[in-house]
Structure formats: structure tokens, C-alpha cells
Chains A and B, each alone.
Chain A
Amino acid sequence: MLRYTLKRLASLLVSLGVASLVIFFVIEVAPGDPASFMLGINAQPDTVAALRAELGLDLPKWQRYLEWVGGMVTGDFGTSYTYRTPVAQMIADRLWVSLPLALYALILSTAIAFPAGIYAAARRGGAGDVAVMGATQLGVAIPNFWFAMMLVLIFAINLRWFGAGGFAGWDEGIGPALWSLTLPAIALALPQAAILARVMRSALLDVLGEDFMRTARAKGLTKGQTLRRHGLRNALIPVLTILGLQFAFLLAGSIIIEQVFYLPGLGRLVFTSISARDLIVVESVVMLLVFAVIVVNFLVDLAYAAVDPRLRSRT
């Protein structure tokens, strides 16, 4: 198990290294010089040069890459070109909205999808199965941001159960903060839950066809016992893969959903930074998102090993 973990960890570090290189050099080829952009078209060449030096833009590329990566490791993401404030602080503030939102949505999605998928698989071909599958077919087709607009229209504007947007802030207490994240989380979670429920169902149906399920029945287990004791854990293996992928989609999706609800999260930060050509912020946010995806995949790999003993013993 230790060897497996170390191996995964090594591959995690390699992925992070390559991803950071890709991001850095993609941003590097971006046309336009941040210094002249910040100072406007009328700036004097020597002022621009001074600012370039101050921002470290005059250093060789490889050195700037190393400084960027080194900085990120120590929590120093550099200084925003437009706001002249530390990027790390800006991101940290926004992360307190985006991350809880993504997690909230992940929990909701799992809480809806697992029972729905198991129910449909157990009632295969029955009315319950058809109903759940029909609902998921629709859920997969609905764009989450449109669904969010509809939620706002119904629950915020018409019923007035929620505010139409904005974020209460964690200082006001956990309750109001979570309440203001509830509609966005539902909007994010439902389409993902539809996908997850479908995967759960088909994974279970695949396992139901396995020989060991028949063996379990021959021991005298009822259909339900067989499903619970032997089916679920084996079905979890493909479900985990999707769960890992979903986190990436939820995090990316939260960037879009924030636009609907005017939430001060990473999404708002990244879009304002793009229009202000504040590339150092864009670069850091993108790196952070990619970092999150890679780390979640690493955790999924560890979860695989926890579920499947065959992985633990293989090298």
C-alpha cells in the first residue's frame, strides 16, 4: 500500500510539474506586455522598463518560471498587475466561496445520485427504473447555468425564499452563508447527479451479471443482501472514477454558476482579470484549478486501492 501511494504521489508531482510548465508557457506567448498595458498607451519607455523590472518581467523565462513555481510552493503567488495586492490573498478570499460551493454540490449530487442509481438498478426494467432514467436523461440535457436562472426565477424572485444573488459571507455565521450557497449548489449538483446516477446504475447492473453474485445467491443470500454485501463495493470502482471527474466539472462549473448568482468567487476574479489583462492572476487561478483536479485524481487513486485489494498488492 505504501509503495502504491508513493508511486501515485510521484505521478502526481510529475503531472503538476508538466501542467505548470504548460500554463506558464501558454501565458508567456500571450501577446502584449503587462507593464505597458498597466501604464496605458501614453507611458514613457523608461517608466515601462522600470515597471518591467519591478514586476520581474525582464528576467530570463526559465528563471521567472522557477520563481513562479517556487513562490507558489511557499504561498507567494506574486502581485496582481492591476490591484497591486498579493494574488494569494485575492485567491484565498474567493476560494472561501468557490470551494465550499463545489463541495456542497458534490455532497448534494452524491446524496441524490447514489440512492437513485441503486433504486433504478434494483428495479431494472420496472416503472421506477424508467422514471429515474427518464429524469436523468432530462437532467443530463439541462445546462446548469440555465437551471440556475430558473431556480432564481422561481425560488428567489417569485417565492422569495432565497436572495436572488450575492453571498452572505462567512462572518454572518455558517447558516446564512450556506443558505446563500444553496440555490447555486442545487443548480450545480442536479445535472451532475443525473450523470452519477446513470453511472451508478450501469455499474451495479454490470456487477449483477458477475459470477460471484451468483455464488452469493447460492450461499442463501437474498437478492437485496447480495446487492448490498457484494454488489455495492464492486460497483464503487467505476463510480469513483466519475466522482473524481465530477469534482473537476463542479469546480469549473462553479465558476459559471457564480456569474448567475453574482457570487464573489474564483469565477468573478478570473473574468475581471481576463478583461483587465491581469495575466498573473489568470495564471494562478488556472494553476489552482488544475492543481485541484490533479490532487482529486490522486485521492481517487488512493480510494481505488482502499476499495480494491488487487491494486494494493500490485507493485
Chain B
Amino acid sequence: MSLLRVQNVEVGIGPTRIIKDVDLSAGAGEIVAITGESGSGKSMTALAIMGLLPDAMQITGRIALAGEDLLAKSEAEMCTIRGQSIGMIFQEPMTALNPVKTIDDQVAETILVHEGVSRADALDRAAKTLTRVGLPQDRFPLGRFPHELSGGQRQRVVIAMAIALRPKLLIADEPTTALDVTTQAQILGLLKRLTAEDGMSLLMITHDLAVVADMAHRIVVMQHGQIVEQGETQTLLRKMQHPYTRALFAASSHEVSLPEAKTDAPLLRVDAVSRDYRLPRTRLFARPGSFRAVHNITFDIHRGERLGLVGESGCGKSTLTRAILGLEDVQGGSITMDGDPVFTAGRPNLNVRRKMQVVFQDPFGSFNPRHRIERAICEPFHLLDAPPTGIARSDLVAQTLEAVGLSPRDAQKYPHQFSGGQRQRIAIARALIIRPELIVFDEAVSALDVSVRAQILDLLAELCAQYRLTYLFISHDLSVVRTVTDRVLVMQSGKIVEQGPTTRVFDAPQHPYTQSLIAAAPRLPKLEGLFHA
């Protein structure tokens, strides 16, 4: 018999249904993954099982845990079940812990609220649980506060709180989305181990199909609040019935074919660049220390080349990007474009600036909410000595919007009238409008859902064919970098540890760090025949 049975569950606010007719089950020791894009209702389903839906929502149906209907329970009864029989892990480890309480206190609290044990006993068991999740006391002494731990370590604390009482069911809502790939691999391994050891059911909510394929025994695919398909992982991967499932998997492993790169002379030259940040003074009169975020980096981008830059958070890739864009000066070395420095005498060089544009990650933060699209994409005109005016200007706006797959009429709208994918198209339009020599894509597709991401990557390939773009594509997502770049740099702790043609680096990595990065990245199994179905 299944441990968890969800039957005919519907959730709504007023007349709108957010979740419709959801049926799923999970057995002891089984890992069930619910997947889908944003807005599919997967997280709502998790909160519904926990009984933590916002007050304004109504729920109907039946959610049975070991035969007992949770929806029939009172709030007080649910409090004894949460933490005891069901544990939950959340997406954002940086904010999921109370900043003013120690980690052992927070783990012990789970024990204290459910069992009448002494505080000392609870702390003792908390320490054991922390050891179990990989935070042994010899390296992580008790009494630490959350801010003293890294993201991955904090997620381990959250897991410890959830499993302290060995619940029957563990719900993990995007548990690794905020983490780097190597940390993600460790956390996923930990979750797998704990599930097996305790015979728990693990209900995992994630948008990442590679993680799903790797972890789950069973897969549940959701779209618009409904389950479109579910089944045993292997079966489902072989025979996908629903077109949405197929589209989702196809988009996740989407590859584009770039036109042949015709590279010639070096365009951007980064020569022995170092970038230091001053650390706060530790003593009143001591010289403040500094932190070298970028260490003696040298590389070229040739005209017509598509260069990738990969690395985990904190490796210095954002710092390097800001230096290349001339937003911050460097402490050593030089960055030149066609021989001109991007930064001279404390000021960015406008001659160089107009040859460079950028597309950022966040489609919602990229535009001034009070400016119309026309004004937003014309902002780079500020760099030109004689910007187009009148008809020439509106023609150029229309032409650029069409080039990125939007309508010229969109010029008069405001950013909030567009979806995330459309905004990223607008951001590309803004970067294209002055026909720069180099475009920097800074995690430009990282915040997008897989299907939207696939469309933007297609657009990129089209633009490459149309305009012969030169770009630097910065990302933590190896699969994306692999398909849209010719050459790749791998960065770790401020240094470039490996570089070379993209296919060579990915197929035969030389440096141990590159090897570990590629090994840690979850990969979708090859699903032949699927993409043309």
C-alpha cells in the first residue's frame, strides 16, 4: 500500500482553480518527482500536502498519509504531524533558517515541539542529526549561526531539521535550485542516502528534468495545475505519451546549430587582468586587506567568435564581466578592444563602450518599469555621436524588435506587459540596436523556463546567422554553454583553469576541476527519437 495517496485534490482561490484533479501516490522508500515549469502548480501541491496553503485558498479531495486523511485533521492535529511524520525542505537555504538562532537550536526545536524530552537530550539528538547530514561537530562546532555557513551547508541544516524525527514522508521543494552543480550533486546524494536508510518516501518538486531522471523512481509531470502524465521513470522516459512531456524533455536538452564561426583578428584582449576588492578594516589603523577576485587572467575574443565562460558562484566571473564592460577598473593588466583600453584614467572609454553591449540574467530587473519599450531599447543611443532621430529612429526600433521576434507595435508598451521570455528578447533588442561588435550574455537564459530558454537559444542561433555576432556567453549551466559557444573558458577561484574548443573541453576535460564540474552536472539520458516525435 502506498504511504501517501493524493486523490482528486483541487485547490482554488474563490472561483479560480489553481490545482485540478491531482492524483498521485508514493510508497515507502520511493522517490517521486513532481516536475513542470513555473506556474504548473507543483509547489502548491507540496504545500497542500503539508497543510500550509495560504488561508485564502480552499482545498477539496483526499490526502491520505498511511491511511489517515490529512484534510480531515484539525490545525492542532496537523501541527503534531508536520515535522513528526512529514518533513519539508525548501528552495532557498539562505533565508530558510532563522538568522538569530543557532543551527543546533533550530534542529533541536523540531524534537522539542514533538517530544517531551529535556533540552539537553534534544540538543544531543540535534548534534547527532547534524552529523548524519554531513555537519560533524569536529568541523562544525555547535553554536554556529546560519550566516556562518555556506548555502550548501545551510541546506544540510534544513534537511537535518526535516529528518530529525525520521518522518515517513519528506517533501523537498526545489532543494538544489539555488545551489552550484557540485553542491547540488552532494545534496542530492545525501537525500538519496537518507531516503534509503530511513525507508522514507521522498516527494521531490523540481523543474530540472536531468535531476528528475537521475533521482526519481516515479515521475509526475504537471502543467497548468494538472497532472498530464505520470509513471515509472524508465517507462516514462522510453514512452512519453503526452505531447507536453515530450516538449518539456525536448526543450531541456535543446541544442541549436550555430553557423560556422569565421573568426579573424582578435577583438577583445584581456591581458593579465587582476581585480581586487578591499576588505573591511579589521583593526582601526591597520591597512585594510584585499581579496583578489580575478587573478591574472589572459584571453582573447576574436571577431566572429562565440566564447563561453563557465564557473560556479563566487569564481569571479561576474567581477570579470563588470571589468570587461568597463563598469569597474582593474588593479592589474589591461582590457583592450581593437587596441583601445575600455577604462582609461578612472573613466570608461566611450569609443570602446559603443562597441559593446550586454544582456543580463533577470528579465524582470532589466528594465525601468516606468519607461516604454522604445525608450528602453534606445538607451544605448546615448553612446552615439549622431543617434538616429524621427523616422530613422522608429524604423530602427521596429526593425530591431522584428529581428528578435517581437512586433513593432510593442515599442509603445511597458515592460510589465511582457512575459519573462519576451523581456529577454527586448533585452537582446536593446543590445543589438547599435550593432555592437561584442555582446556579453551574463547568465542571460538562466532565469527562464526550459521551453522559453529553448526559444531564446534558437533566437540566438538565428541572430548569429543574420548578423555574424561575436559574443561572450557567461553561464553556470554547462549544457547551454555547450550548445551556443565555439570555445570555452573554465574559471575557478579567480583563475582560468582550462580553455579550449567547447566540444574538446566537454568531451575530454583535462583539469580536475573541469572534470568534477562535468561529472557533477546531472544529465538527461539520451532519448533518441523523442525530438522528432
> 16 interchain pairs (CB within 8 A)?
A210-B95, A212-B99, A214-B90, A215-B88, A215-B161, A216-B98, A216-B109, A218-B83, A218-B88, A219-B83, A219-B109, A220-B82, A220-B114, A308-B99, A309-B100, A313-B145
Interface residues of B in 265-324 (CB under 8 A from A): 280-282, 284
Among B76, B100, B281, the residue within 8 A (CB) of A222 is B76
Chain A interface, DSSP helix/strand/loop, else mixed? helix
Expressed in whole angstroms, the minimum distance between the Cβ of A214 and any Cβ of chain B is 7
- Interface positions of A (Cβ within 8 A of B): 7, 10, 210-212, 214-222, 225, 229-230, 233-234, 307-310, 313-315
Indicate if the CB atoms of A211 and B82 lie closer than 8 Å.
no
Contacts of B90 in A (CB 8 A): 211, 214-215, 218
Once bound together, how far apart are the Cα atoms of A216 and B83, in whole Å?
9
- Interface positions of B (Cβ within 8 A of A): 50, 52, 75-76, 79-84, 87-88, 90, 92, 95-101, 109-110, 113-114, 145, 147-148, 158, 161-162, 280-282, 284
Once bound together, how far apart are the Cα atoms of A234 and B95, in whole Å?
13
- Whether A230 touches B98, Cβ cut-off 8 Å, given contacts A214-B52, A309-B147, is yes
Indicate if the CB atoms of B82 and A315 lie closer than 8 Å.
no
Quick one: closest A residue to B161, CB to CB? Answer: A219
Contacts of B113 in A (CB 8 A): 219-221, 225
Expressed in whole angstroms, the minimum distance between the Cβ of B101 and any Cβ of chain A is 7
Known: A218-B52, A313-B145. 9 other contacts (CB 8 A): A211-B95, A218-B88, A220-B82, A220-B84, A221-B113, A230-B101, A308-B99, A310-B147, A313-B147
Once bound together, how far apart are the Cα atoms of A14 and B87, in whole Å?
52
- Max chain B Cβ within 10 angstroms of own Cβ: one of A211, A225, A229, A310: A211
Once bound together, how far apart are the Cα atoms of A234 and B98, in whole Å?
8
- Closest A-B pairs by Cβ, 5 of them: A220-B83, A211-B95, A219-B83, A218-B88, A220-B82
Indicate if the CB atoms of A219 and B281 lie closer than 8 Å.
no
Indicate if the CB atoms of B95 and A212 lie closer than 8 Å.
yes
Expressed in whole angstroms, the minimum distance between the Cβ of B90 and any Cβ of chain A is 6
Once bound together, how far apart are the Cα atoms of A218 and B109, in whole Å?
12
Quick one: closest A residue to B88, CB to CB? Answer: A218
Indicate if the CB atoms of B100 and A308 lie closer than 8 Å.
yes
Indicate if the CB atoms of A219 and B97 lie closer than 8 Å.
no
Once bound together, how far apart are the Cα atoms of A7 and B158, in whole Å?
34
Contacts of B79 in A (CB 8 A): 220-222
Contacts of B75 in A (CB 8 A): 222
Indicate if the CB atoms of B281 and A315 lie closer than 8 Å.
yes
Indicate if the CB atoms of A215 and B147 lie closer than 8 Å.
no
Once bound together, how far apart are the Cα atoms of A314 and B100, in whole Å?
14
Indicate if the CB atoms of B158 and A215 lie closer than 8 Å.
yes
Expressed in whole angstroms, the minimum distance between the Cβ of B299 and any Cβ of chain A is 36
- Whether A212 touches B83, Cβ cut-off 8 Å, given contacts A10-B284, A219-B113, A229-B109, is no
Once bound together, how far apart are the Cα atoms of A309 and B97, in whole Å?
13
Quick one: closest B residue to A125, CB to CB? Answer: B55
Expressed in whole angstroms, the minimum distance between the Cβ of B279 and any Cβ of chain A is 9
Once bound together, how far apart are the Cα atoms of A309 and B101, in whole Å?
8
Quick one: closest B residue to A230, CB to CB? Answer: B98
Quick one: closest B residue to A220, CB to CB? Answer: B83
Once bound together, how far apart are the Cα atoms of A307 and B101, in whole Å?
10
Indicate if the CB atoms of B82 and A217 lie closer than 8 Å.
yes
Among B52, B97, B282, the residue within 8 A (CB) of A217 is B52
Once bound together, how far apart are the Cα atoms of A233 and B145, in whole Å?
15
Quick one: closest A residue to B100, CB to CB? Answer: A233
Quick one: closest B residue to A312, CB to CB? Answer: B145
Contacts of B284 in A (CB 8 A): 7, 10
Once bound together, how far apart are the Cα atoms of A211 and B87, in whole Å?
15
Once bound together, how far apart are the Cα atoms of A233 and B80, in whole Å?
24
Among B50, B52, B100, B148, the residue within 8 A (CB) of A313 is B148
Contacts of B88 in A (CB 8 A): 215, 218
Expressed in whole angstroms, the minimum distance between the Cβ of B171 and any Cβ of chain A is 8
Expressed in whole angstroms, the minimum distance between the Cβ of B130 and any Cβ of chain A is 15
Once bound together, how far apart are the Cα atoms of A221 and B147, in whole Å?
23
Once bound together, how far apart are the Cα atoms of A313 and B162, in whole Å?
28
Quick one: closest B residue to A217, CB to CB? Answer: B52
Contacts of B80 in A (CB 8 A): 220
Contacts of B81 in A (CB 8 A): 220
Indicate if the CB atoms of B282 and A315 lie closer than 8 Å.
yes
Expressed in whole angstroms, the minimum distance between the Cβ of B489 and any Cβ of chain A is 34
Contacts of B109 in A (CB 8 A): 216, 219, 221, 229
Once bound together, how far apart are the Cα atoms of A222 and B78, in whole Å?
9
Contacts of A218 in B (CB 8 A): 50, 52, 82-83, 87-88, 90, 162
Indicate if the CB atoms of B82 and A212 lie closer than 8 Å.
no
Quick one: closest B residue to A207, CB to CB? Answer: B98
Expressed in whole angstroms, the minimum distance between the Cβ of B204 and any Cβ of chain A is 15
Once bound together, how far apart are the Cα atoms of A218 and B282, in whole Å?
40
Contacts of B161 in A (CB 8 A): 215, 219
Contacts of B280 in A (CB 8 A): 314-315
Once bound together, how far apart are the Cα atoms of A229 and B105, in whole Å?
11
Indicate if the CB atoms of A220 and B110 lie closer than 8 Å.
yes
Expressed in whole angstroms, the minimum distance between the Cβ of B108 and any Cβ of chain A is 11
Once bound together, how far apart are the Cα atoms of A211 and B91, in whole Å?
10
Expressed in whole angstroms, the minimum distance between the Cβ of A108 and any Cβ of chain B is 28
Contacts of A210 in B (CB 8 A): 95
Among A212, A222, A315, the residue within 8 A (CB) of B98 is A212
Contacts of A233 in B (CB 8 A): 100
Expressed in whole angstroms, the minimum distance between the Cβ of A228 and any Cβ of chain B is 12
Indicate if the CB atoms of B281 and A309 lie closer than 8 Å.
no
Once bound together, how far apart are the Cα atoms of A229 and B158, in whole Å?
17
Indicate if the CB atoms of B145 and A310 lie closer than 8 Å.
yes
Once bound together, how far apart are the Cα atoms of A230 and B161, in whole Å?
15
Expressed in whole angstroms, the minimum distance between the Cβ of A195 and any Cβ of chain B is 24
Contacts of A219 in B (CB 8 A): 82-83, 109-110, 113, 161-162
Once bound together, how far apart are the Cα atoms of A7 and B280, in whole Å?
13
Quick one: closest B residue to A236, CB to CB? Answer: B100
Contacts of B52 in A (CB 8 A): 214, 217-218
Once bound together, how far apart are the Cα atoms of A315 and B286, in whole Å?
13
Among A220, A234, A309, the residue within 8 A (CB) of B145 is A309
